[in-house]
Amino acid sequence: MFKYLTTTAMLAAVLPAAAHAQDTARAFSFDIAASDTASALNTFARQAGVHLSFPYDAVQGRRVAALRGRYTRDEALGRLIADQGLVVASQSATLIALKAASTASLAPERPLAAASQEEEIVVLGYGQSRQVQTVTPKAMSKSTAGASPLRSLNRLPGVNFDSSDANGTYEAATQISIRGFITDQMGYTLDGVPLGNMQYRNNNGLSINRALLSENNGGATLSQGSGALGTASTSNIGGTIDFTSIEPTSDLGIDLAQSYGSENSWHSFARVNSGELPWGGRLMVAYAHDKQGKWRGWGKQEQDQLNAKYVQPLGDNVTSTTFLNLIDRREDDYNDLSLAKIDQYGWHFDNVPTFALAEDLARVVQNGGAVPAPYVNADDAVYNGGACDVTCWPTSALTTTSARACRARAPATSISTTVSAPGPTPTIPRPKPMAARRSRSRRCGMT
């Protein structure tokens, strides 16, 4: 028994050390743009697949140069924190903790001021969100292909995500709650651009499902509790979810993926990276076709989506980033079942499957008469209740490492055409959006 315990203890001590040594010797492909130190360290953590903690107040107002290429984890971190007043306090295979370097070792020696000399001390501070949690791209890549990025947040404590379909892309029946706050009580951004409250009617923004392919998600950061005043959102009373898109790589590459599932579900994905072009720019273009049948009743959810991102350094301190999203989406609704409907028709009851039956039900509604079987009430179901949406969403930004950063986006213009008929979901005309976006949407349905 003593030998067994001794062997177990030795393995427990040796295995983490071996894993740490393997990770520190492994070379990663880093693509970190010139930015403030806090953002650069967060990007490093996502790309290295580790958790990183550091004192925000120690890096306030500091910036770092761009870091691109293949480095070991220690080499990349060493380059980022050089001359930043940070040192490594502890590290393991999954966690790195930084601390502020001793002021005695950083400050140059100088003679003490005379006791009678007056000295003014100014202390500046700013608020930071607490309870910040991050889902890394590595963790998101373990989700089902084509799944909503919101579903990946479901693994965090205090987060609950519900949807009618397996991938969480059917927006009419999708809900996320964080410690009692629901979807339209939180703020959402993509690369700093506001997404509104992500409601199904999209009258105040755009869903992350329509803005970014799941394979292009660069991670998500959740700030629980009331969001910071600087967050670009009008609905962040319950927290903020910041999504990021991945950067084009410095190497030429093609990614292909194909998946198939039950209910005739298909997901096809292709992504091309140009690598670094002769003039220094990098381009990524990705396309996905997603199709899945309804698990109850007839109909399907189908969409074609294109993402393109171009990054162009403009000198040593300025970077231009342009992002374009195009999506053509069609989804057939599920019938909302009450307990009475389930008792009457069963679990698989759904909307009217044929136009002829829909005509018979419409005549009963207009003129009265006997309701055709198996229906008890003529308005228990609708025919072809669904939604169509075509969206174009371009954004552009300029970032600089100087003290003053400037950001420019495409004009906030929205073109919206709405066509509706009585159906399960009322239509609300889309107002001018908060984000830079050009969009055209169609709502279609008939009873």
pLDDT digits 0-9 by tens, 77-121: 999 898 888 899 888 888 898 888 864 444 454 554 554 555 566
Give the pLDDT of residue 228.
63
Give the pLDDT of residue 402.
46
Give the pLDDT of residue 307.
94
95 and 132 share a domain? Answer: no
156 and 54 share a domain? Answer: no
Q: Average pLDDT, stretch 192-203?
A: 75
| pLDDT band at residue 353 using 50, 70 and 90 as cut-offs | confident
38 and 75 share a domain? Answer: yes
166 and 208 share a domain? Answer: yes
93 and 145 share a domain? Answer: no
Alpha-helix residue ranges (DSSP H) falling in 49-147: 73-81, 103-106, 137-140
| pLDDT band at residue 48 using 50, 70 and 90 as cut-offs | confident
Determine what percent of the chain is predicted with pLDDT higher than 70. Answer: 74
Rounded Cα gap, residues 383 and 212, in angstroms = 31
159 and 217 share a domain? Answer: yes
Rounded Cα gap, residues 172 and 382, in angstroms = 15
Is 331 inside any structural domain? yes
Kindly report, residue by residue over 22-32, the tens digit of the pLDDT: 556 788 888 89
Is 132 inside any structural domain? yes
Query: Token pair for residue 213?
Result: 């392919």
Domain count, the chain: 2
Give the pLDDT of residue 385.
64
330 and 245 share a domain? Answer: yes
| pLDDT band at residue 401 using 50, 70 and 90 as cut-offs | low
Is 226 inside any structural domain? yes
Per-residue DSSP letter, 207: -
185 and 76 share a domain? Answer: no
Question: What's the per-residue H, E or C state across 155-197?
Answer: HCCCEEEEECCCCCCCHHHEEEEECCECHHHCEEEECCEECEC
Contacts of 417 (CB under 8 A, 6+ apart): 440, 441, 442
Asked whether the predicted pLDDT for residue 134 surpasses 80, the reply is yes
Give the pLDDT of residue 230.
64
Q: Give yes or no for a contact between 305 and 287, defined as CB atoms under 8 angstroms apart.
A: yes
Question: Of 99, 117, 148, which residue sits at a domain end?
Answer: 99
The residue ranking higher by pLDDT, 401 or 64, is: 64
The residue ranking higher by pLDDT, 139 or 420, is: 139
Is 246 inside any structural domain? yes
Q: Average pLDDT, stretch 208-216?
A: 87
- Tell me how crowded residue 325 is: count the other CB atoms within 10 A of its CB: 24
305 and 229 share a domain? Answer: yes
Is 60 inside any structural domain? yes
Picking from 310, 261, 258, 308, the residue whose alpha carbon sits closest to that of residue 286 is 308
Q: Give yes or no for a contact between 200 and 164, defined as CB atoms under 8 angstroms apart.
A: no
142 and 74 share a domain? Answer: no
Picking from 290, 303, 266, 310, the residue whose alpha carbon sits closest to that of residue 388 is 303
In terms of residue numbers, what domain contains 137?
128-335
Q: Within its chain, how far is the Cα of 310 from the centroid?
A: 19
Sheet holding 300-313, edge to edge: 252-261, 265-276, 282-293, 300-313, 318-332, 386-400, 438-442
Give the pLDDT of residue 22.
56
Give the pLDDT of residue 332.
79
| pLDDT band at residue 271 using 50, 70 and 90 as cut-offs | very high
| pLDDT band at residue 229 using 50, 70 and 90 as cut-offs | low
Q: Within its chain, how far is the Cα of 192 from the centroid?
A: 11
Query: Token pair for residue 13?
Result: 């001590």
Asked whether the predicted pLDDT for residue 237 surpasses 80, the reply is no
Q: Average pLDDT, stretch 189-216?
A: 81
Q: Average pLDDT, stretch 203-212?
A: 80
Phi/psi zone of residue 157: left (φ > 0), alpha (ψ -120 to 50 degrees), beta?
Answer: beta
| pLDDT band at residue 406 using 50, 70 and 90 as cut-offs | very low
Full-model pTM: 0.58
Give the pLDDT of residue 283.
96
231 and 136 share a domain? Answer: yes
Is 263 inside any structural domain? yes
Q: Give yes or no for a contact between 55 and 98, defined as CB atoms under 8 angstroms apart.
A: yes
Angle formed by the axes of helices 73-81 and 2-25, nearest 10°: 60
Question: Of 335, 368, 397, which residue sits at a domain end?
Answer: 335
What CATH number does residue 62 fall under? 3.55.50.30
Give the pLDDT of residue 122.
58
Question: Of 335, 354, 382, which residue sits at a domain end?
Answer: 335
Give the pLDDT of residue 442.
40
| pLDDT band at residue 425 using 50, 70 and 90 as cut-offs | very low
Kindly report, residue by residue over 317-342, the tens digit of the pLDDT: 888 999 999 988 888 778 788 888 88
- Give, rounded to a whole angstrom, the gap between the first and last alpha carbons of the chain: 74
Is 49 inside any structural domain? yes
Contacts of 283 (CB under 8 A, 6+ apart): 248, 273, 274, 277, 308, 309, 310, 311
| pLDDT band at residue 123 using 50, 70 and 90 as cut-offs | low
What CATH number does residue 163 fall under? 2.170.130.10
Kindly report, residue by residue over 155-166, the tens digit of the pLDDT: 888 888 888 777
Is 409 inside any structural domain? no
222 and 91 share a domain? Answer: no
